[in-house]
């Protein structure tokens, strides 16, 4: 009995060590929920270990301070629920600083809310109490209407090998010019995304960020949906409707850093917007001395408090909004190993064992909430590190944009796109999310039209019709390589507005004439053909394939049972001869034109015009 008891105690100790926090810390964390409606009461809870006294002020007290009770590092207060629809409140710290609740799901921002459209749903919220306080104010809805989910039980996430992700910025993607709830307007695009063959929609950051007009990568309140995008109910309805069309929802989320305006910074700061050394969640400096890899205030992922914070953030978005996964921004920053400006590792790419352990810990925690969660790392570190994370189940953002730009411009140098082929990289499963455009990259059409080769005027990449064909050829090769893939918004129409037009993160909406022009529609249809095949046909998820992705003529050859698919694209500005291999049926059928090529006599030599792309399938694969 004593031996058995010792074993049990030992196992408990090991579990606690793995999680990295004591029983007291875990118990305290379970109560760090901000304000909750509990029956006829409001229960406030704030974790503030560096403060001796904390008060709550708000509409319920005529903005008079009420002191909270301290229990170790946690402050608590319970009050009677006011008889109103909304309650406004703030915490007042022992140094007199006022903060919004770090766990806010809705906040009032006196500096930026006035810029929101007057027709916006935000006008339905209580007005900011200008004469009573300053800074962010938390809005607590006292009579919330529960959302009734239609797809709670009947939806499952797509398999990794068939994943077709569509990345979009809510601010920019809405086709409608109407003002108001962008997430409601976004509902109009769900059918078109489904018809494109997309089965996962990735939203750029939507948590409350600095200002109203940005990409969202400077979060302030990580649990709050930014009001510039819409209501909480609108996001739930969007997720529900996306699920009903068989698509997943992935959130791009920032856990490497926050804005200096985040209340977790303000709670323990030097008064100048920088965290003090005793701040439980932050480093006092970025781990990257390289200024190109520094943003906001750097979260310390070695800290148990930070680990529990990020776990709760991901858990909240899964439980509250039923999202299916996350694209984690700049996971290379999840380590406290310092990377100096000068030296081989200024970009933080060298193998870092602790960084791997921290990301594996996070992945394990999230899988306990949602076992089939989709987790994508924007990592860009050494190959052994990416391989290890892929083996753990992460998908790895794989940027082939520069190589594809070289392809569409017609230049062989730098045109090798082999990095998106998981077998080429020595991986045992398709975990590389290959893409040729993203929010961080220049548009291929822009590069093609402005910097394409000029030595063959009759096939110039600088001609719009030719450029669109070249982008279509790139999409054909991208889609033919097994494994998850991503399209950046409006890439299927050959969108050509530069990333730097009006500023890198400025608003960029599509010219609607592109969506009705026959040449641009032809490109969209090619994208749709490829994406639907990838989603629906197991041939495109096969592990039996080979690919030559190095030169200007690229090929991908898929085999699945007695079926085959051969994809060919010529990115040169001159024609090439190509010998078609013998097919099992004796015929290849081009899926784009339905033209049949016989190989009964052992093969057929064809001419590949400049910018040509073919997706050949055997007769039984048609």
pLDDT bin (cut points 50, 70, 90) of residue 155 is: confident
**What SS3 state is found at 619?**
helix
Containing H/E element for 544? strand 544-548
The reported pLDDT for the residue numbered 599 is 86
Residue 111 domain-assigned? Answer: yes
Q: Kind of pairing, strands 325-328 and 248-253?
A: parallel
Residue 455 domain-assigned? Answer: no
pLDDT tens sequence across 434-485 = 999 999 999 999 999 999 999 999 999 999 999 999 999 999 999 999 999 9
Tokens 């548009």, residue? 443
Name the domain count of the chain.
1
> Token digits for 395?
């998908």
Spell out the long-range contacts of 360-367 with Cβ–Cβ below 8 A and sequence spacing 24 or more.
360/389, 360/392, 361/20, 361/307, 362/307, 362/310, 362/311, 362/314, 362/334, 363/392, 363/393, 363/394, 365/307, 365/311, 365/314, 366/311, 366/314, 366/315, 366/318, 366/326, 367/393
Q: Is there a contact between 476 and 155 (Cβ–Cβ < 8 Å)?
A: no
Residue 449 domain-assigned? Answer: no
Task: Report d(CA 455, CA 394) in Å as an integer.
Answer: 44
Residue 422 domain-assigned? Answer: no
Task: Report d(CA 293, CA 356) in Å as an integer.
Answer: 19
The reported pLDDT for the residue numbered 620 is 59
Q: Is there a contact between 78 and 41 (Cβ–Cβ < 8 Å)?
A: yes
pLDDT tens sequence across 165-217 = 999 999 999 755 566 689 999 999 999 999 999 999 999 999 999 999 999 99
Residue 89 domain-assigned? Answer: yes
- What percent of the chain is predicted at pLDDT more than 90? 85
Task: Report d(CA 427, CA 328) in Å as an integer.
Answer: 21
Burial class (CB in 10 A: 0-12, 13-18, 19+), 135: middle
Residue 114 domain-assigned? Answer: yes
The reported pLDDT for the residue numbered 175 is 57
Question: What CATH number did the domain enclosing 119 receive?
Answer: 2.60.40.10
- Determine the structural domain holding residue 134 and report its residue range: 28-141
Q: Is there a contact between 523 and 494 (Cβ–Cβ < 8 Å)?
A: yes
Residue 490 domain-assigned? Answer: no
Residue 77 domain-assigned? Answer: yes
pLDDT bin (cut points 50, 70, 90) of residue 343 is: confident
Q: Kind of pairing, strands 485-488 and 164-168?
A: parallel
pLDDT bin (cut points 50, 70, 90) of residue 12 is: very low
The pTM (predicted TM-score) of the whole model is: 0.94
Q: Is there a contact between 267 and 343 (Cβ–Cβ < 8 Å)?
A: no
pLDDT tens sequence across 31-90 = 457 999 999 999 999 999 999 999 999 999 999 999 999 999 999 999 999 999 999 999
pLDDT tens sequence across 555-612 = 999 999 999 999 999 999 999 999 999 888 889 999 999 999 998 776 789 999 999 9
Task: Report d(CA 365, CA 313) in Å as an integer.
Answer: 11
Task: Report d(CA 552, CA 534) in Å as an integer.
Answer: 23
pLDDT bin (cut points 50, 70, 90) of residue 15 is: very low
């Amino acid at each position: 009995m004593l031996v058995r008891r010792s074993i049990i105690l030992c196992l408990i100790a090991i579990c606690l060590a793995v999680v990295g926090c004591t029983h007291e810390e875990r118990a305290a964390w379970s109560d760090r929920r901000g304000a909750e409606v509990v029956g006829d009461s409001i229960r406030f809870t704030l974790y503030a270990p560096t403060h001796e006294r904390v008060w709550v002020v708000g509409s319920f007290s005529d903005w008079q301070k009420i002191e909270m009770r301290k229990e170790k590092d946690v402050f608590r207060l319970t009050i009677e629920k006011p008889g109103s629809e909304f309650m406004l409140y703030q915490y007042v710290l022992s140094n007199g600083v006022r903060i919004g609740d770090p766990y806010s799901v809705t906040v009032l921002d006196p500096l930026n809310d006035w810029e929101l459209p007057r027709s916006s749903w935000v006008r339905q919220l209580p007005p900011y109490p200008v004469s009573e306080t300053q800074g962010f104010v938390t809005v607590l809805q006292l009579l919330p209407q529960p959302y009734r989910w239609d797809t709670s039980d009947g939806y499952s996430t797509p398999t990794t090998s068939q994943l077709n992700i569509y990345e979009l910025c809510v601010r920019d993607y809405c086709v409608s010019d109407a003002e108001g709830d962008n997430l409601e307007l976004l509902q109009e695009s769900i059918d078109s995304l489904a018809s494109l063959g997309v089965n996962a929609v990735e939203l750029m950051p939507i948590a409350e960020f600095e200002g109203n007009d940005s990409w969202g990568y400077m979060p302030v309140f990580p649990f709050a949906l930014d009001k510039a995008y819409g209501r909480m109910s609108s996001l739930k309805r969007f997720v529900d409707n996306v699920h009903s069309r068989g698509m997943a929802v992935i959130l791009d989320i920032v856990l490497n850093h926050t804005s200096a305006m985040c209340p977790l910074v303000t709670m323990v700061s030097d008064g100048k917007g920088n965290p003090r050394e005793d701040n439980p969640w932050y480093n006092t400096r970025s781990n990257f001395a390289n200024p190109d890899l520094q943003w906001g205030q750097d979260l310390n992922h070695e800290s148990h408090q930070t680990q529990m914070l990020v776990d709760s953030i991901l858990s909240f978005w899964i439980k509250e909004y039923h999202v299916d996964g996350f694209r984690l921004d700049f996971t290379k920053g999840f380590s406290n190993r310092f990377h100096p400006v000068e030296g081989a590792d200024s970009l933080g790419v060298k193998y870092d064992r602790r960084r791997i352990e921290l990301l594996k810990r996070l992945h394990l925690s999230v899988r306990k909430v949602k076992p089939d969660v989709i987790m994508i790392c924007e990592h860009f570190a050494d190959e052994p590190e990416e391989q290890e994370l892929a083996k753990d189940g992460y998908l790895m953002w794989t940027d082939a944009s520069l190589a594809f730009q070289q392809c569409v411009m017609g230049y062989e140098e730098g045109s090798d796109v082999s990095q998106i082929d998981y077998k080429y990289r020595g991986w045992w499963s398709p975990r590389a999310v290959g893409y040729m455009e993203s929010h961080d990259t220049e548009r291929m059409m822009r590069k093609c039209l402005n910097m394409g080769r000029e030595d063959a005027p009759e096939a110039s990449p600088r001609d719009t019709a030719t450029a669109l064909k070249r982008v279509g050829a790139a999409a054909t090769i991208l889609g033919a390589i097994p494994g998850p893939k991503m399209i950046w918004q409006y890439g299927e129409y050959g969108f050509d507005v530069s990333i730097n037009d009006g500023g890198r993160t400025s608003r960029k909406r599509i010219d609607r004439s592109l969506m009705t022009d026959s040449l641009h529609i032809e490109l969209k249809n090619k994208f749709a053909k490829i994406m639907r095949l990838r989603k629906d046909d197991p041939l495109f998820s096969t592990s039996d394939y080979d690919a030559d992705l190095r030169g200007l003529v690229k090929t991908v050859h898929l085999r699945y049972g007695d079926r085959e698919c051969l994809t060919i694209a010529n990115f040169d500005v001159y024609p090439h001869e190509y010998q078609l291999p013998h097919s099992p049926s004796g015929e290849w059928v081009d899926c784009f034109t339905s033209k049949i090529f016989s190989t009964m006599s052992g093969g057929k030599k064809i001419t590949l015009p400049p910018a040509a792309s073919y997706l050949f399938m055997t007769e039984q694969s048609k």
